[in-house]
């Protein structure tokens, strides 16, 4: 497993990370245990969860039960900021809420520290300086090692960077955002900002909710049991004729080189600027194994240009 620094920080993470959003929700404790153990055995060191995952706390609770002595061997990342109650009172980036949220996460995770604590989304009601000062206090207290952000636009990432620098605070070392061969919107503004500020990028949805897994074909219904077969908003967003046409072209590109679409999806992300670890979820141990082995294709400059042409970025 390749290990990379998270941006210009000293935090080192595995190139493939385990997304824990299925734990405590789609997966029960036994199924989660099987996935976690396979990830540990495969050399994955970055485990990424959030307080909201698993019906508000289930993912963190399951990880806390399973990791045990292996906690010290991994980089444990979680997030805060999304609503943890129906009223919307338990959310955001205020000092008052952060201090409560971190204690709840630490308790569920059964740990004394969080390696990477991430603001899950922007809080329009709280100045970023207040959020950063609260997070800086947690770092100084030893409850958090590093801090990051997720789903922030480029201007807010830059505002946070300069606020932390001006006030001599611990700033965000990472940004976690959606990024894949089919979703490349962050390349216009966010990716340049992340790179300029020395942050590491943690892409999520690397397979576009499964569309880049090789399971789906045009004019064919989505396989039963898959996420895109459920008729959800996610399915409506990704399962389109335009996307399927691109997937067909990418599949042909990979097959011509003796590779799979899955390998192309992961290896392309691994080649992108600032990417430190690709966050990939799994519901079965064999999916973990496939993901870990999928990022070993070193794409040439010519191949990258051809991929840009296929995906409409040339």
Assign 51 to helix, strand or coil. Answer: coil
Buried b (16+ CB within 10 A) or exposed e, 66-95: bbeeebeebbbbbbbbbebeeeeebbbbbe
Nearest CA-CA partner of 171 in 47, 7, 5, 48: 7
Q: Say which DSSP state 223 is in.
A: P
Which uninterrupted H or E stretch holds 22? none
- Pairwise CA distance, residues 154 & 38, whole Å: 36
Nearest CA-CA partner of 78 in 48, 100, 108, 58: 48
Nearest CA-CA partner of 37 in 278, 295, 289: 289
Which of 53, 117, 146, 179 is an active site residue?
A: 53
Catalytic status, residue 53: yes
The answer to whether 247 and 219 have CB atoms below 8 angstroms apart is no
**Residues ≥6 apart with Cβ < 8 Å to 278:** 15, 16, 17, 202, 203, 206, 266, 269, 270, 295
- Pairwise CA distance, residues 6 & 40, whole Å: 19
For 65: left if phi > 0, alpha if psi spans -120 to 50, otherwise beta; the answer is alpha
Angle, CA of 114, 116 and 122, to the nearest 5°: 120
Q: State the sign of the Cα–Cα–Cα–Cα dihedral 20, 78, 262, 226.
A: positive
Nearest CA-CA partner of 77 in 193, 3, 173, 160: 173
Q: Could you give the residue numbers annotated as active site?
A: 53
């Amino acid at each position: 497993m390749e290990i990379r620094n998270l941006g210009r920080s000293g935090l080192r993470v595995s190139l493939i990370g385990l997304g824990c959003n299925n734990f405590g929700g789609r997966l029960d404790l036994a199924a989660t245990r099987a996935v976690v153990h396979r990830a540990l055995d495969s050399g994955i060191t970055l485990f990424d969860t959030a307080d909201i995952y698993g019906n508000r706390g289930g993912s963190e609770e399951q990880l806390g039960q399973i990791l045990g002595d292996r906690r010290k061997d991994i980089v444990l990342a979680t997030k805060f900021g999304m609503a943890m109650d129906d009223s919307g009172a338990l959310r955001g980036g205020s000092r008052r809420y952060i201090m409560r949220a971190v204690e709840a996460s630490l308790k569920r995770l059964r740990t004394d520290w969080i390696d990477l604590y991430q603001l899950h989304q922007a809080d329009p009601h709280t100045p970023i300086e207040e959020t950063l000062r609260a997070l800086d206090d947690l770092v100084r207290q030893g409850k958090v090692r590093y801090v990051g952000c997720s789903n922030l636009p480029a201007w807010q990432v830059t505002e946070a960077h300069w606020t932390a620098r001006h006030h001599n605070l611990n700033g965000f070392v990472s940004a976690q955002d959606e990024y894949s061969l089919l979703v490349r919107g962050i390349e216009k503004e966010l990716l340049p900002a992340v790179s300029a500020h020395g942050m590491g990028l943690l892409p999520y949805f690397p397979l576009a909710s499964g569309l880049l897994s090789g399971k789906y074909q045009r004019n064919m219904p989505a396989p039963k049991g898959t996420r895109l077969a459920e008729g959800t908003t996610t399915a409506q967003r990704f399962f389109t004729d335009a996307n399927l046409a691109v997937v067909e072209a990418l599949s042909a590109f990979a097959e011509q080189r003796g590779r799979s679409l899955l390998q192309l999806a992961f290896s392309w992300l691994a080649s992108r600027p600032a990417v430190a670890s690709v966050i990939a979820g799994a519901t079965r141990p064999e999916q973990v194994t496939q993901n870990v082995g999928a990022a070993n294709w070193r794409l040439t400059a010519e191949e990258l240009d051809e991929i840009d042409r296929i995906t409409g970025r040339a």
